[in-house]
Amino acid sequence: MPAMKRRHLLKNALGLSSALLTGCALPPLSEVSRTGLVFAPAGGGTPFLSGGARRTLALREYQQTFLVSGASFRCAPKPAFGLAWTNHLQHGYTRSKRDPRIGYAVKNLATGTYLAEHQADLVMNGCSMPKPALSAVLLDARAGRLTREEFQHIVNVCDLSINASWMALLARISHDNEQTFEAKYSLPDVPLRENAQSPRYYAEFFERCVNYRLDHGCELMLEAMRRNQYGIGHKYLPAEVTYLGGKTGNYADYQHEGLFFYYQGTPYAIVLYTGQRFALDGNYWLISALFGGLFREYIA
């Protein structure tokens, strides 16, 4: 069947615009029928294509919106440091991994399986953690079409966590936008705009981004979060981990960090929230110890 005919049928079936499908390499309809290539996975708001096709659409949107907007990245992505693991770090991990002041989630983003969790639904003040997720809320509400200024605000909150850009984004997002986003993508119902989240929320959010299950903005969010300039969770991950991103949140008694990364071709997420001064008073190193320990126990 001619490509234009297939494109027309897929557009009608999926509710996708012609602009998004123009130029995309589309599979034969026989293959769609045989494999069930069009499906609605958990976390999807509307029917989705296969992972490869979803990424194709996301890249095309990224090229036609952000890359021509005049906004730009300011920082380069960072790989894992690959520092040596020590007995001191192992001891810190072992004695801390069930501490009642922390919550974490370790997830295989390819299978959706939680490999480890401890108080993963514990809701805490998120500090700066919600900045990427609420950026995604705005992208979804606007169908990926933002101004140059708005795109730059997203870059600013993801790389250097600029609060002025955070306030600018918050002013553009309503409670209804947030609720619609969480329901559409089957995310935990947390008061994101009021700055409260859980480790599970961010593990799920990372999964939606890495698997291109958001209708808009996936490629921008991944690239923006890869440029996060803060955090120490990657210090003791192996140096072969070169694709990773995430976010940190630090305020008062709270020290949080979340990372998504690829290890030996498989995507994972580790998200850690801490409160009650767990990582203060000279104990900030425990953040990197927990990331390194969780990686070694449940992923490596």
| Residue 269 pLDDT exceeds 80 | yes
Q: What are the φ/ψ torsions at residue 154 (nearest 5 degrees)?
A: -65, -45
φ/ψ of 158, rounded to 5, equals: -90, -35
Q: What is the average pLDDT value for the chain, to the nearest integer?
A: 88
Residue pLDDT, tens place only, 99-140: 999 999 999 999 999 999 999 999 999 999 999 999 999 999
How far, in Å, CA of 99 to CA of 234, rounded? 21
Q: What is the total residue count of the chain?
A: 300
Give Cα separations from 202 to 88, 133, 216, 246 (angstroms): 29, 8, 18, 10
Q: What is the pTM of this model?
A: 0.84
User: String of b and e for 104-126 (b: at least 16 CB within 10 Å)?
Assistant: bbbbbbeeeeebebbbbebbbbb
What is the per-residue pLDDT across 138-191, written as a single tens digit (0 to 9) for each? 999 999 999 999 999 999 999 999 999 999 999 999 999 999 999 999 999 999
Interval 217-239 mean pLDDT: 98
* CB-CB contact of 278 with 149 (8 Å): no
| Ordered domains of the chain (ranges, CATH) | 3-68 (no CATH), 87-298 (3.40.710.10)
Indicate the pLDDT class of residue 44, thresholds 50, 70 and 90: low
Rounded CA-CA distance 66/150 in Å is 10
